[in-house]
Amino acid sequence: MCGLDALALAGFAVFYAYEIVTGKAQQIGPAVMSALLIALFAVGLYAVARAWRGPETWQRTPTLVWCALLLPVAYTALTSGKPLIGVAVGLSAVIGLWAAATTPSDRAVDAAS
């Protein structure tokens, strides 16, 4: 899920960059900062996704925090008339929380042996 979230965020960063380059952004400063912040989170989530594929053990906490932060975003989208976005974000959050919470903590020991 972290990889899919990173890909979605990268897409949003590209969209913001497109808006800036084509002059469609109403305010350039906030659009640039949003694009940079979104790109930074995409890179961070990509690093977390890569860590899930290896023997590392640090990735559980950032995954849980990220997914927990997505829950209010999903609720806001659901209650503001964007049900498809709310459901997609909510499912991503719940699946990510479940996957991170149910992964054995001794996964690195098992992978090394």
Closest among 40, 98, 107 to 64, alpha carbons compared:
98
Is pLDDT above 80 for 29? yes
Mean pLDDT of the chain: 91
Task: Average the pLDDT over 82-104 and give the result.
Answer: 94
Is pLDDT above 60 for 108? no
At residue 4, the pLDDT reads: 94
Count CA atoms within 13 Å of residue 68 on its CB side: 8
pLDDT band with cut points at 50, 70 and 90 for residue 61? very high
Long-range CB contacts (< 8 A, 24+ apart) of 85-93? 92/1, 92/4, 92/5, 92/67, 93/67, 93/68
Task: Average the pLDDT over 79-105 and give the result.
Answer: 94
Helix 2-22 to helix 60-79 angle, to the nearest 10 degrees?
A: 60
- On whether the pTM is more than 0.95, the answer is no
